[in-house]
Amino acid sequence: MTLELVAIFLASSFRLAIPLLFAATGELVSERAGVVNMSIEGMMLAGAFGGAIGAAMTGSPLLGLACAVLAVLPVALLQSVLTNTLRANQIVTGIGINILVLGLTTLGYREFFGARSRTTIPGFDAWPVPVLSDLPLVGPLFQQIGMAWLAIAIILAVGAVLTMTGLGITLRAVGENPQAVAKAGRSVLALRHGAVLFAGIMSALGGAFLSIGDIHTFTEGMTNGAGYLAITAVIFGSWKLGRTVMACLLFGAATALQFQLPALGLGIPNALLIMLPYLLAFLAVAGLVGRQTAPRALAQPYWP
Amino acid sequence: MSVASRSAAPPRLPPGLAGLLLPVGAVLAAFAVGAVAIMALGVPLGEALTAFWRGAFGNAYAISASINRAVALALVGTGFVFAARAGLTNVGGEGQIAVGGVAATAICLAPGIADLPLGLAFLVPLLGATLAGGVWGALAGFLKVRVGTNEVISTLLLSFIAVWLLYWSVQSEALLRQPMTSSATLPESLPIPVTTQVPLLTGSYSSPVTLGLPLLVVIAAVTALVLSRSIFGFQLKAVGLNPVAAARAGIAVGASIVTALFLAGAMGGLAGGLMLQGEQYSLKAGFSSGYGFDGLVVGLLARNSIAGVIAGALLFGFLRSGGISMEMGASVPSALIDVLQGLIVVTIAGAAYYVDRGDRK
């Protein structure tokens, strides 16, 4: 492997991990509060679609990003009301929402862009970090669009809030023992609604990264399992922020490796690399890699 | 979960009636939305419905294809209900279908299988598919009992693993991919020998309803009986309602959980075997695409009734076929069917709270 290839590999690993970093961080917060959003996939898709439409109509990727967040709000709200207020099965509602969003965005895309056209839409340009981006080997790592740095900033902020603030402690307690939180006078429902909404907005950012950040176009069902991969990252990360971030980077690297295999001439089957994240997560939940500590009230509706 | 605080709930419909009205109402409401959407797309409603009708019921072939699809969905849905009785959510239908398809292909193409007498040539691969799906499901059950892994997470992950195993097996010549004679050789398996194909009821490819239909009827009837009348069915229910109490009553909780998920997976595997040996005849990467999740949704819609599973499977089987025809004949995107299906699921899941409220005593 030449140094140049290593540099490209590092940079593309990071780039491919960014949508996962957004979505997985959002899902982590929500799962720590006790709500599983199978709909991360649909929420990312809604974000990708909203971002694409917004950017195409206004010509500004920044306004596109705002549209991505707007587009995800009804989806996140639906998920939250169904699972928290109506106490519906979290898995089933999530899968239903994914089917619904896939259908709606495909219909909307055909109406808006016309069937099968692949128009390029305005997207973000790279924001190279001065000095660092000129370094050998790691230089390409620092030639990402601004959203990459936004992801890192949000992750650091989430880490700080979760560990150092009262809100963070309460939020984690809601996922472990909601009854205790209710007894302490905090609203379980409000906290969980907030957590799902946060997961939705983060997913929208991740989805928008795919459409207006990375490839500057929208295609039907373009998230193609990225949402499930983000959920898998949270599981493999054992519901801890640091480990989840590492999982996202690892999954990004596995994806990047798929594209580099031909260049490297390695005999690893492509399918094995695509399967790797799910396999690792499965081994992890099977207790073969480290210990898993899911929040105790995960996926359980709260009855006062 | 306190009960007293909700004892003053408003008067409700009898649970059985509400359980029936809810899915019917949700489906009708979704259809109404669909009609509005079609008109909003600027397609004459009559034209769209004609195309839909042609695709779903238009001729013997269309009806047969819809029925075959419904059989696969009903099998996955029946498995879902089986596991649900023990309080387990099997979201792994997609992967169970995939491993079933892979196993069926591998056995069909194995030397000697095609020459087996007495219909064993198609029965052996079908059994292999069933077992493979069963093992895939039981794995999740085993983990739940041994390590305490939530079966929702493990069946979902196993599902993705299986789908990529399928992809791998048709990409690699060392596995099931047909020999590469040119660069245009498609990544799929060789077609299975004719003797290993599941027989068609009419014997004609113009109305290809397979033996899977009577097989499903038998399996559905047996499942309904086992769940409602047998000791095993009672044990599953006890495990689902309260595993601790069930264990104290002497029920082997661990074995029940593994068995329930084995059976759920086995039905998914059988569905995969039937889809391959009865319809597609060669393994392709997108083989299981969507069937598993549709089957799950059918299981949910049915609200634990096997009759409901059949009704739901027929509905979705014909909806999908009609949707595809609507796309080709009236240029209404078949994504509209996704929208309807999503609406149905979301409505029923959300309204379950109002229907079940009375049951939480």
Structure tokens at B361: 């005593």
Q: What's the confidence (pLDDT) of residue B56?
A: 81
Q: State the Cα–Cα distance between residues B180 and B161, nearest whole angstrom.
A: 26
Would you say residue A180 lies in a domain? Answer: yes
Would you say residue A242 lies in a domain? Answer: no
Q: State the Cα–Cα distance between residues B30 and A257, nearest whole angstrom.
A: 43
Structure tokens at B164: 């990529």
Q: What ipTM does this complex have?
A: 0.86
Instruction: Flag if A88 and B153 touch (Cβ within 8 Å).
Output: no
Q: Which of B157, B158, B327, B343 to mutate to test the interface with A (most CBs of A within 10 A)?
A: B157
Q: State the Cα–Cα distance between residues B133 and B151, nearest whole angstrom.
A: 15
Amino acid letter, A116 = R
CB B248 within 8 A of CB B239: no
Give first-to-last CA distance, chain A, whole Å.
59
Residues B264 and B339 in one domain: no
Would you say residue B31 lies in a domain? Answer: yes
Q: How confident is the model at residue B6 (pLDDT cuts 50, 70, 90)?
A: very low
Residues B104 and B232 in one domain: yes
Residues B260 and B201 in one domain: yes
Q: State the Cα–Cα distance between residues B340 and A249, nearest whole angstrom.
A: 37
Q: What's the confidence (pLDDT) of residue A67?
A: 94
Residues B358 and B262 in one domain: no
Instruction: Flag if A103 and B337 touch (Cβ within 8 Å).
Output: yes
Residue of B164, B335, B352 with shortest CB distance to A88:
B352
Q: State the Cα–Cα distance between residues B38 and B32, nearest whole angstrom.
A: 10
Residue of A102, A111, A285 with shortest CB distance to B154:
A285
CA distance A137 to chain B (A): 33
Q: How many structural domains compose chain A?
A: 1
Would you say residue B134 lies in a domain? Answer: yes
Instruction: Flag if B168 and A271 touch (Cβ within 8 Å).
Output: yes
CA distance A292 to chain B (A): 9
The mean pLDDT of B198-202, rounded to a whole number, is 82
Instruction: Flag if B342 and A282 touch (Cβ within 8 Å).
Output: no
Classify residue B203 as left (phi > 0), alpha (psi -120 to 50) or beta. left
Residue with tokens 């397979």: B210
Residue of B146, B161, B300 with shortest CB distance to A275:
B161
Would you say residue A170 lies in a domain? Answer: yes
Q: What's the confidence (pLDDT) of residue B9?
A: 44
Q: What's the confidence (pLDDT) of residue B14?
A: 54
Would you say residue B80 lies in a domain? Answer: yes
Q: Is B307 exposed, middle or buried (0-12, 13-18, 19+ CB in 10 A)?
A: exposed
Would you say residue A268 lies in a domain? Answer: no
What pLDDT, in 10s, does the model give residues B14-27?
A: 556 766 787 788 88
Among chain A residues, CA nearest to B340: A100
Residue with tokens 């992890």: A284
Q: Which domain holds residue B123?
A: 68-303
Instruction: Flag if B336 and A275 touch (Cβ within 8 Å).
Output: no
Would you say residue A121 lies in a domain? Answer: yes
Residues B340 and B284 in one domain: no
Instruction: Flag if A102 and B154 touch (Cβ within 8 Å).
Output: no
Would you say residue B351 lies in a domain? Answer: yes
Residues B27 and B100 in one domain: no
Chain centroid to CA B60: 23
The angle formed by the CA atoms of residues A157, A163 and A169, to the nearest 5 degrees, is 115
A contacts of B2 (beta carbons < 8 Å): 303-304
Q: State the Cα–Cα distance between residues B270 and A103, nearest whole angstrom.
A: 29
DSSP category for residue A209? I
C-alpha dist (Å) from residue A222 to A39, A231, A248, A255, B21? 15, 17, 19, 15, 36
Residue of B168, B341, B345 with shortest CB distance to A92:
B345
Q: State the Cα–Cα distance between residues A104 and A39, nearest whole angstrom.
A: 14
Structure tokens at B29: 């409401």
What pLDDT, in 10s, does the model give residues A151-204?
A: 999 999 999 999 999 999 999 999 988 988 888 888 899 999 999 999 999 999
Residues B297 and B361 in one domain: no
Q: What's the confidence (pLDDT) of residue B4?
A: 41
**Listed residues B260, B283, B303: the one ending a domain:** B303
Would you state the torsion angle of the CA atoms of residues A112, A114, A119, A124, taken in this order, to the nearest 10 degrees? 20
Q: How many structural domains compose chain B?
A: 2
B contacts of A232 (beta carbons < 8 Å): 157, 160
3-state secondary structure of B152: helix
Would you say residue A281 lies in a domain? Answer: no
Which residues on adjacent β-strands are paired with residue B189?
B177
Structure tokens at B297: 């949704």
Structure tokens at A232: 């898998």
Q: From A81, A56, A65, select the one nearest A22 (Cα to Cα).
A: A65
Q: What's the confidence (pLDDT) of residue B11?
A: 46
Residues B81 and B27 in one domain: no
Would you say residue A253 lies in a domain? Answer: no
Residue of A86, A103, A271 with shortest CB distance to B335:
A103
C-alpha dist (Å) from residue B65 to A46, B60, B192? 33, 9, 19
Q: Is B50 exposed, middle or buried (0-12, 13-18, 19+ CB in 10 A)?
A: middle
**Listed residues B286, B303, B320: the one ending a domain:** B303
The per-residue DSSP string of B2-58 comes to -SGGGTTPPP---HHHHHHHHHHHHHHHHHHHHHHHHHHTT--HHHHHHHHHHHHHS
B335-356 and B15-40 helices, crossing angle to 10°: 150
Would you state the torsion angle of the CA atoms of residues A205, A211, A215, A216, taken in this order, to the nearest 10 degrees? -120
- pLDDT surpasses 50 at B2: no
Q: From B291, B258, B259, B260, select the one nearest B273 (Cα to Cα).
A: B291
Structure tokens at A16: 């491919």
B360: phi then psi, degrees, rounded to nearest 5: -85, 55
What is the enclosing helix (H) or strand (E) of A232?
helix A226-236
The angle formed by the CA atoms of residues B225, B229 and B230, to the nearest 5 degrees, is 95
CA distance B234 to chain A (A): 24
Residues B340 and B196 in one domain: no
**From first to last of its 304 residues, what are the pLDDT tens digits of chain A?**
577 778 888 888 898 999 999 999 999 999 999 999 999 999 999 999 999 999 988 888 899 999 999 999 999 999 999 999 998 888 888 988 999 999 999 988 888 877 555 667 777 777 777 767 777 666 677 777 788 889 999 999 999 999 999 999 999 999 988 988 888 888 899 999 999 999 999 999 999 999 888 778 888 888 888 998 999 899 888 899 999 999 999 999 888 888 777 666 666 777 888 888 888 888 877 876 555 677 888 878 887 7
Instruction: Flag if A292 and B149 touch (Cβ within 8 Å).
Output: yes
Would you say residue B318 lies in a domain? Answer: no
Q: What's the confidence (pLDDT) of residue A29?
A: 96
More confident residue, B285 or A73: A73
CA distance A221 to chain B (A): 11
Would you say residue B115 lies in a domain? Answer: yes
Q: Which of B164, B291, B296 to mutate to test the interface with A (most CBs of A within 10 A)?
A: B164
Residues B204 and B135 in one domain: yes
Residue with tokens 């997985």: A24
Residues B241 and B355 in one domain: no
What pLDDT, in 10s, does the model give residues B118-130?
A: 778 788 999 999 9
B contacts of A286 (beta carbons < 8 Å): 143, 147, 149, 154
Would you say residue B321 lies in a domain? Answer: no
Which residues have a Cβ under 8 Å from the Cβ of B29 and sit 6 or more positions away?
B343, B347
Q: Which domain holds residue A205?
A: 7-223
What is the enclosing helix (H) or strand (E) of A253?
helix A241-264
The per-residue DSSP string of B267-313 comes to HHHHHHHHHIIIII-S--TTTTTTHHHHHHHHHHHTTT-HHHHHHHH
Among chain B residues, CA nearest to A81: B350
CB B129 within 8 A of CB B104: yes
B contacts of A91 (beta carbons < 8 Å): 89, 91, 152
